[in-house]
């Protein structure tokens, strides 16, 4: 049996989180969900996911802080991260990519199916 790739979704919007989780499961991914930044970072350490879909605006700890913490940890720094957020300012995009995100997707511009395509390209 092939091990399913684990995607950790760090998203505080339950509706969106469910939407993405459902879509990813249909694509045969395993999905773990964290609804705030602290839980997200804890789950990254515990589960060592194949990829993280990370929102930036989160309760307790934002996505930029999570990225910083991950990139400073040699166990975690190579896990691919796709930022999925509504923040669309150029400096925010640049900051996310400078902190080491593999990609930066604006929620309003991408359908879940396109996000799945990006995930597949990232964890080939």
Domains of the chain: 6-122 (3.40.50.2300)
What confidence tens digit (pLDDT) does each residue in 39-86 have? 999 999 999 999 999 999 999 999 999 999 999 999 999 999 999 998
Residue 2: predicted pLDDT: 63
> Global pTM?
0.93
Residue 88: predicted pLDDT: 82
Burial of 2 (C-beta count, 10 Å sphere; 0-12/13-18/19+): exposed
Collapsing DSSP to helix, strand or coil, 9 comes out as: strand
What confidence tens digit (pLDDT) does each residue in 83-96 have? 999 888 899 999 99
Helical H segments across the chain, by residue range: 14-26, 37-47, 63-71, 90-98, 112-122
Check whether 1 has a pLDDT greater than 80.
Answer: no
């Amino acid at each position: 049996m092939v091990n399913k790739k684990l995607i950790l979704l760090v998203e505080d919007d339950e509706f969106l989180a469910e939407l993405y989780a459902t879509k990813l499961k249909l694509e045969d991914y395993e999905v773990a969900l964290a609804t705030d930044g602290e839980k997200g970072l804890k789950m990254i350490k515990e589960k060592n996911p194949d990829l993280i879909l990370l929102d930036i605006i989160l309760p307790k700890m934002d996505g930029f802080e999570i990225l910083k913490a991950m990139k400073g940890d040699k166990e975690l720094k190579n896990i691919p991260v796709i930022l999925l957020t509504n923040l669309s300012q150029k400096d925010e995009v640049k900051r996310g990519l400078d902190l080491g995100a593999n990609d930066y997707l604006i929620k309003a511009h991408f359908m879940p199916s396109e996000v799945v395509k990006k995930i597949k390209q990232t964890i080939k």
